[in-house]
Amino acid sequence: MQNRNHPQSISQGLLVLFLLSPFLVLFFHFQMTTRWDWNEFLWALKNSIWQGFWSAVLSCIGGLLLAPGLIFCENRFSKWFNFNIFFLLPNFLPNLFILIGLMSLIDPFPMGSVGVVIVHAFINFGLCGVILKEVMKTKLSKLSDVSFILGTSRGHFYLRVVWPLIRKDILQVFFLVFVTAFSSFAIPLVVGGGKGINLEILIFEKIKIYNDWSTAVLISGVQSLMLFAFSLINFSANTVVDVNPHLQSRYLESRLSFYLFSFLYLVFFYSYFSGVWEGVASWADFELYTEEITSGIIGTLTIAIGVGCGIFALLMLITRLHQTNWFHRFLNGYVAPSTALIGFAFLVLGPNTSLYILAKIILGLMLSYVIYLYKMGYGNYLIELQRYKEKASLLGANDNLIFWKVIFPLTHKRMFLYSGIAAFWATGDYGISKMIANRDISLALLSETFLSHYRIGFSSLLSFILLVIGLLVFLAFRGVQIVVSRKINY
């Protein structure tokens, strides 16, 4: 038995090493002599926790309110359009457009830590809503219909059924947003003000002001360790009930929530799309920069598809190696280092010529996304599947058979969904690409270059094209998933 588990443990170890590789590269690249200042560290930590906590609270509240709206639109309009993507858009748009949109929505916009929390909450509550919608649909659809038939009031249903069953999921979503906001960089830098400085900005200051990479790596490591320790608190959610697509989930849906949030988003996107419209006026620029835009589109597609496929491969590997031991705890708690550190780690590693650059960007993005996706619910889902594994194992199936015949058919849909989401995000990546690339290889970088040449309208237009490409790549992954599903059921 032990012998059988050896290769598995080694593979788990190798995967963990891969995920830790940015830290390791930087650790060996720079001599570790640090100037540690507890005061500034604790102060930045306090700010990080404050921002993370309130961002997560607001996002969860927003997500909880949005989820019934999403269920409503999924029950009514899902055949026409995937509204989830619409609510995930703020997660994807460049910060400038988010800020401009929000500033036109909230005027005057409160700068400082409150501003940071508002921006984070706005960016993340759509994601929370989408995750919680999935949770509610899978766990509560049946109960909702039963409660409806038995005549329970809606309030009673929410208090006595919904809350006890999904509170651990909410905690998980809370942790997801907390981690994101805790280690956010660009937003606190713009709207945070001096007192909004968090650990990521402290890391940046160490690099930029003191050229002190070793302390920066150490702070990042300590930050990851703390989040890891935090994740050890056991709030893993439980028992997924299979969903019957014919269920109505009457009590779970809310028309008001859907229209309210749609209105909010429309107001927000108005300013964005008015920018895009201004960009359309400078349509002639397309002809001037056809070559750059074409190569940017190809670069973006390569990165997006590469990241999507890479994430799929990584998720498959994780699924194959998954155990509810230290491996799960590591994946659930580990936080990838900041984009600046990942970018720099890959920059110093090996040559920086065309194909290597693309490969490095793809690997860097995979590293920063896979852990996030695991926390987004994939890890929990794998835990739910543990019982099937155990049953199959008791019946004598070996690991390979269990994976291909039991686990893969159950997980492939989610794997494709998460790969699609990762590919969607990758189309808009700016941080890691900017660090590693030696020219504007993607449309996101090109959009930023246009911005630095006064052409904000055209930059908005390019970001819109990015959105469309992201959507197409996402749908392509969905298409492949449909085909693979048919193949599995064939």
Partner 1 sequence: MQHFIIFIFSIFFVLVLSFFNRKAVVDETQKTLRVYGYSSFTSKLGPGYDLKRKFEQICNCKVEFVEAADSGVLLQRIKLEGATLGADLVIGLDQYDLQKALSEINWRKLDFSQLEIDEIIRPALSNNYFVPFDWGVIAFVGRKEDPLPAPKSLKDLLKPIYKSKIALMDPRTSSPGMQFLSWVYDAMGKDEGEKYLEQIMNQAHSFSPSWSTAYGFFSKRQVSYVLSYLTSPLYHQLIENNHSIEAFKFSEKHPIQFEFAGIPLDCKECSLAEEFINLMLSDEGQKIIMNKNFMFPVIKSAQVGTPFESLAQFNHLAEFKIPSVSDVDFLIKSWTSIRRGDKNAK
Partner 2 sequence: MLVSFLDSVKYVGHLVPISFLRIFLGYYYLQSAMLKYTSDFLNKPKIAETISEFLPLSQAPEWYKVIITTQMIPQWQILAFLVTGFEFAIAISYLIGYVVRPVAVLGVLLSLNMIFIMGPAYEDLNKTFLALHFVMAWIGAGRCLGVDYYFYKRRRGLWW
Q: Which is nearer to partner 1, 4 or 453 (CB)?
A: 453
Q: Which is nearer to partner 1, 416 or 450 (CB)?
A: 450
Measured CA distances, 220 to 201, 203, 214, 331 (Å): 11, 7, 10, 17
Q: Which is nearer to partner 1, 60 or 363 (CB)?
A: 363
C-alpha closest to that of 89 among 65, 123, 131, 39 = 123
Residue 6: which H helix or E strand, with range? helix 2-29
User: Nearest approach, Cβ of 351 to partner 1 (angstroms)?
Assistant: 8
The listed partner (partner 1, partner 2, none) that binds 288, CB under 5 to 8 Å by sort, is: partner 1
Q: Which is nearer to partner 2, 42 or 483 (CB)?
A: 483
Please check whether residue 481 is in contact with residue 416, taking contact to mean a CB–CB distance below 8 angstroms.
Answer: yes
Cis peptide before 409 (omega within 30 of 0): no
d(CA 360, CA 222): 25
Q: Which is nearer to partner 2, 229 or 483 (CB)?
A: 483
Q: Which amino acid is at 310?
A: G
Note whether 96 binds partner 1 by CB under 8 A.
yes
Q: Which is nearer to partner 2, 16 or 476 (CB)?
A: 476
Q: How many residues bind partner 1 (CB under 8 A)?
A: 52
User: Nearest approach, Cβ of 11 to partner 2 (angstroms)?
Assistant: 24
Please check whether residue 372 is in contact with residue 311, taking contact to mean a CB–CB distance below 8 angstroms.
Answer: no
Q: List binders of partner 1 among 34-93 (CB under 8 A).
A: 43
C-alpha closest to that of 170 among 257, 323, 71, 62 = 62
User: Nearest approach, Cβ of 448 to partner 1 (angstroms)?
Assistant: 7
Q: List binders of partner 1 among 418-457 (CB under 8 A).
A: 434-435, 437-440, 445-446, 448-456
Note whether 114 binds partner 1 by CB under 8 A.
no
| x-or-dash string of contact with partner 1, 351-370, rule CB under 8 A | xxx-----------------
Measured CA distances, 210 to 59, 215, 224, 345, 347 (Å): 35, 10, 22, 18, 20
- Return the C-alpha torsion angle 55, 162, 156, 71, nearest 10: 80
C-alpha closest to that of 219 among 359, 107, 210 = 210
| x-or-dash string of contact with partner 1, 178-217, rule CB under 8 A | --------x--xxx-xxx-x------xx-xxx-x------
The listed partner (partner 2, partner 1, none) that binds 6, CB under 5 to 8 Å by sort, is: none
The listed partner (partner 2, partner 1, none) that binds 291, CB under 5 to 8 Å by sort, is: partner 1
Q: Which is nearer to partner 1, 21 or 152 (CB)?
A: 21
User: Nearest approach, Cβ of 93 to partner 1 (angstroms)?
Assistant: 13
Q: Which residues contact 467 (CB under 8 A, 6 or more apart)?
A: 89, 92, 93, 428
d(CA 364, CA 251): 43
User: Nearest approach, Cβ of 479 to partner 2 (angstroms)?
Assistant: 5
The listed partner (partner 1, partner 2, none) that binds 317, CB under 5 to 8 Å by sort, is: none
Please check whether residue 431 is in contact with residue 343, taking contact to mean a CB–CB distance below 8 angstroms.
Answer: yes
d(CA 458, CA 465): 11
Q: List binders of partner 2 among 445-484 (CB under 8 A).
A: 479-480, 482-484
Q: What is the 3-state secondary structure (H, E, C) of 315-353?
A: HHHHHHHCCCCHHHHHHHHCCCCCHHHHHHHHHHCCCCC
Q: Which is nearer to partner 1, 293 or 407 (CB)?
A: 293
The listed partner (partner 2, partner 1, none) that binds 402, CB under 5 to 8 Å by sort, is: none
User: Nearest approach, Cβ of 266 to partner 2 (angstroms)?
Assistant: 30
User: Nearest approach, Cβ of 37 to partner 1 (angstroms)?
Assistant: 12
The listed partner (partner 2, partner 1, none) that binds 482, CB under 5 to 8 Å by sort, is: partner 2
Q: Which is nearer to partner 1, 67 or 446 (CB)?
A: 446
Q: Determine phi and psi for 5, rounding to 5 degrees.
A: -85, -10
d(CA 105, CA 313): 41
Please write down the long-range contacts of 481-487, taking CB distance under 8 Å and 24 or more positions apart: 481/412, 481/413, 481/416, 481/417, 481/420, 484/412, 484/416, 485/412, 485/413
User: Nearest approach, Cβ of 449 to partner 1 (angstroms)?
Assistant: 5
Sign of the torsion formed by the C-alpha atoms of 162, 167, 170 and 172: negative
d(CA 186, CA 189): 5
The listed partner (partner 1, partner 2, none) that binds 100, CB under 5 to 8 Å by sort, is: partner 1
Note whether 105 binds partner 1 by CB under 8 A.
no
The listed partner (partner 2, partner 1, none) that binds 11, CB under 5 to 8 Å by sort, is: none
At 148, list the tokens: 């409806």
Q: Which is nearer to partner 2, 28 or 404 (CB)?
A: 404
Catalog residues that contact partner 2 under the rule CB under 8 A: 479-480, 482-484, 486-487, 490
Catalog residues that contact partner 1 under the rule CB under 8 A: 43, 95-96, 99-100, 103-104, 108, 111, 186, 189-191, 193-195, 197, 204-205, 207-209, 211, 271, 275, 288-289, 291-292, 344, 347-348, 351-353, 434-435, 437-440, 445-446, 448-456
